């Protein structure tokens, strides 16, 4: 199979986040490109969302997130191969921040929570796939042990368990690598400090607690430590920079790491480590207390709300609690709730496969359902559920009910994983837990969402995203169109509540270059009123729309066919006078793949005004859920001084556009 080329997509994405000069750094997670931009206002959300493979673009948690879905890794690699962005905040290859890096507008606008989420996501997302893979391995090891397939002394079992557990025991090493990038410090000094935190676990001669006077220092508490490690590397970054600024260059190679490790190491074991442990334990106790007040209510609220956090990329502010819970108690309850939240959205998008009328939506739903099965919900969210609102809401309902079930049943997870799917279910096996109730809750969440969408649909005619205004900081498309209509009414450019009248165009001093005739019978409407932002914005050129009353399209000029789409839905004609005319039958009808269209001409064919270009079945196209409004556009508009539409009701062959030049 030929390897896909993502070069052009990578270039388009970078261009529309403000260009390479606007990018401080770039990371990716399972589905998203996570940009740190100098000026987020330079990003073009609308154009980004029109790009192939891009599901949506969201500004949240101090990052500009471009949601790709399953193909995020090759897109990320293509961008990095071309632009070599930093994984840190500075945008420099060295990862060391310059003075300019700390003055960008975005950072000034961030509140403490955005900074907190940005730090956590920047630390954990680079190795999210390893954590997920290790979680599956741990599930396999638990199954082998529970079903007594192999004795725990078996070399095979020991190897599998080591592969699954090693990453979590040595988690401070992984955190040190990415935290060093995040805090702009030397990776290897950071790793050395993290290794020192873990080392006591490997030496039986080191006591658990040793006393410095009356002060007890716990040496064997940092296996899998999250907050202590993050705080330690944060502190180490300042210490390292201080020594770099005060030591002569000739001495820095040896003495910067030497002195940094001494100072940062002592402070970590004596102050920062215990403080981080106390903070983590406090979070675990606080979560456990609140969850324990009513596991049913807590599970339902978290199950219903979790995917909302995912939309904004804020789930990284919550998921570390699971790691801390496992480190503190040996188990966690949040991951069981997350499993149900995922199952809810998975059920909703799976039902959408059967309810979708548009071919493209069926394809998107099928692809997103596969991702949902493996625990990745962003393609489902942005491709179908969130886009059409109802599926997302039904998914939340399913997640809430499933969350209430696992909460009431006391389901626990005994190993951390950032991605929850059926392959992780063995992680629910353990003392005072039940994989059976976890399975029941997941099935209920899936089926409830599935049935609701199957019975009530997912509102496919709606094109507004539920969180469009919140996530973009801009008015949604409907709001923009409404505001434009109200403005035109106020300026008396409209004569009725549903008719837009184009302002008169002064053609004094201009000469008529060509006349375009109507290619089909129907009601002519202003191009700005058609329900497609690409056409209505006149990005393709000026023209008008026709709501057809016939099933035949004829040539509007004498000329040559320069584009005849094999799907039969669109034709480009160059008139004998040089005007290039696009006739596009319906909105998004390319998704029909030629169904209900019968083309009558080919590329390069000469045509006369009135020659038949195609026939189509407008009733069947409408029944398939598509708008049949046909656009007639002068695509080389920029070469002319004025394009004047005639908006009276038109029959085939009547004048509809006049093209003027000086």
Q: What is the reported pLDDT for 502?
A: 55
Catalytic residue flag (residue 29): yes
Range of the domain at 12: 6-83
Look at residue 502 and tell me if it is in a domain.
no
Pair 419, 539 in one domain: no
Q: What is the reported pLDDT for 376?
A: 82
Where does residue 458 rank: exposed (0-12), middle (13-18), buried (19+ CB within 10 A)? buried
Q: What is the pLDDT of residues 430-441, one digit of tens each?
A: 989 999 999 999
Pair 173, 32 in one domain: no
3-state helix, strand, coil in the chain (%, to 5): 55, 15, 30
Look at residue 323 and tell me if it is in a domain.
yes
Look at residue 164 and tell me if it is in a domain.
yes
Look at residue 539 and tell me if it is in a domain.
yes
Q: What is the reported pLDDT for 506?
A: 73
Those residues whose C-beta lies under 8 Å from the C-beta of residue 213, and which sit 6 or more positions away, are: none
Q: Which of 102-106, 370-374, 398-402 has the lowest mean pLDDT?
A: 102-106
Q: What global pTM score does this model have?
A: 0.57
Whether residue 46 has pLDDT greater than 70:
yes
Whether residue 405 has pLDDT greater than 50:
yes
Look at residue 37 and tell me if it is in a domain.
yes
Whether residue 445 has pLDDT greater than 60:
yes
Q: Report the pLDDT averaged over residues 89-111.
A: 41
Pair 139, 258 in one domain: yes
Whether residue 497 has pLDDT greater than 70:
no
Where is the domain boundary, 429, 448, 463?
Answer: 463
Pair 235, 303 in one domain: no
Look at residue 307 and tell me if it is in a domain.
yes
More confident residue, 196 or 477: 196
Q: Which of 538, 553, 525 has its CA nearest to residue 645? A: 525
Pair 568, 603 in one domain: yes
Q: What is the pLDDT of residues 330-378, one digit of tens each?
A: 999 999 999 999 999 999 999 999 998 888 788 888 888 988 898 888 7
Whether residue 463 has pLDDT greater than 80:
no
Pair 334, 212 in one domain: no
DSSP 324: H
* Contact between residue 573 and residue 559 where contact means Cβ atoms under 8 Å apart: yes
Local structure of 286: helix, strand or coil:
helix
Look at residue 520 and tell me if it is in a domain.
yes
Pair 569, 442 in one domain: no
Q: Which of 15, 18, 32 has its CA nearest to residue 379? A: 32
Q: Which of 9, 14, 17, 29 is catalytic?
A: 29
Pair 175, 203 in one domain: yes
Q: What is the pLDDT of the chain when averaged over all its residues?
A: 83
Q: What is the reported pLDDT for 199?
A: 94
Q: What is the reported pLDDT for 499?
A: 46
What are the tokens at 557? 């000029």
Structural domain total, the chain: 4
């Amino acid at each position: 199979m030929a390897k896909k080329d993502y070069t052009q997509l990578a270039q388009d994405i970078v261009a529309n986040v403000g260009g390479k000069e606007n990018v401080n750094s770039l990371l990716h997670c399972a589905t998203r490109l996570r940009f740190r931009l100098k000026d987020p206002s330079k990003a073009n959300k609308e154009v980004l969302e029109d790009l192939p493979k891009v599901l949506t673009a969201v500004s949240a948690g101090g990052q500009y997130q471009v949601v790709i879905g399953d193909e995020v890794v090759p897109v990320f690699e293509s961008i990095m191969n071309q632009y070599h962005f930093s994984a840190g905040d500075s945008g420099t290859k060295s990862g060391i921040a310059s003075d300019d890096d700390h003055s960008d507008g975005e950072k000034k606008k961030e509140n403490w929570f955005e900074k907190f989420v940005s730090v956590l996501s920047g630390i954990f997302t680079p190795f999210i796939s390893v954590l997920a893979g290790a979680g599956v391995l741990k599930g396999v090891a638990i199954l082998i042990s529970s079903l007594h397939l192999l004795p725990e002394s078996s070399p095979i079992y020991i190897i599998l368990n080591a592969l699954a557990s090693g990453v979590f025991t040595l988690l401070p090493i992984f955190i040190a690598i990415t935290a060093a990038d995040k805090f702009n410090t030397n990776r290897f000094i950071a790793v050395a400090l993290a290794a020192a935190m873990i080392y006591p676990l490997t030496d039986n001669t080191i006591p658990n607690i040793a006393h410095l006077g009356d002060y007890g220092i716990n040496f064997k508490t940092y296996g899998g430590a999250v907050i202590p490690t993050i705080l330690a590397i944060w502190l180490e970054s300042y210490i390292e920079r201080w020594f770099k600024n005060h030591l002569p260059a000739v001495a820095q190679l040896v003495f910067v790491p030497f002195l940094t490790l001494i100072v940062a190491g002592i402070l970590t074991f004596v102050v920062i480590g215990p403080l981080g442990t106390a903070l983590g334990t406090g979070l675990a106790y606080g979560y456990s207390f609140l969850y324990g007040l009513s596991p049913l209510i807590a599970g339902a609220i978290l199950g219903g709300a979790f995917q909302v956090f995912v939309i904004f990329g804020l789930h990284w502010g919550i998921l570390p609690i699971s790691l801390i819970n496992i480190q503190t108690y040996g188990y966690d309850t949040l991951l069981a709730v997350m499993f149900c939240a995922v199952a809810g959205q998975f059920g909703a998008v799976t039902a959408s496969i059967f309810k979708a009328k548009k071919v493209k939506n069926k394809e998107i739903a099928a692809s997103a359902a596969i991702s949902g099965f493996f625990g990745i919900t962003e393609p489902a969210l942005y491709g179908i559920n969130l886009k059409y609102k109802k599926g997302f809401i039904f998914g939340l309902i399913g997640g809430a009910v499933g969350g209430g079930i696992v909460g009431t049943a006391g389901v626990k997870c005994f190993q951390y994983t950032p991605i929850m799917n059926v392959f992780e279910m063995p992680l629910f096996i353990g003392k005072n837990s039940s994989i059976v109730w976890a399975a029941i809750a997941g099935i209920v969440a899936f089926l409830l969402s599935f049935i609701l969408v199957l019975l009530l649909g997912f509102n496919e005619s709606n094109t507004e995203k539920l969180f469009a205004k919140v996530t973009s900081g801009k008015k949604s498309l409907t709001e923009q169109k409404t505001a434009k209509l109200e403005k035109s009414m106020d300026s008396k450019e409209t004569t009725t509540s549903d008719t837009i009248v184009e302002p008169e165009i002064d053609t004094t001093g201009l000469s008529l270059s060509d006349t375009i005739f109507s290619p089909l019978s129907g009601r002519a409407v202003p191009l700005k009123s058609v329900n497609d932002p690409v056409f209505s914005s006149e990005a393709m050129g000026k023209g008008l729309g026709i709501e057809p009353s016939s099933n035949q399209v004829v040539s509007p000029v004498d000329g040559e066919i320069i584009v005849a789409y094999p799907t039969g839905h669109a034709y480009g004609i160059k008139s004998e006078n040089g005007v290039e005319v696009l006739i596009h039958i319906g909105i998004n009808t390319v998704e029909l793949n030629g169904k209900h269209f019968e083309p009558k001409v080919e590329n390069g064919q000469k045509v006369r005004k009135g020659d038949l270009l195609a026939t189509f079945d407008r009733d069947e196209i409408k029944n398939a859920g598509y708008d049949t409004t046909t656009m007639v556009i002068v695509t080389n508009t920029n070469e002319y001084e004025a394009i004047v539409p005639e908006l009276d009701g038109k029959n085939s062959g009547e004048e509809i556009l006049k093209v003027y030049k000086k």
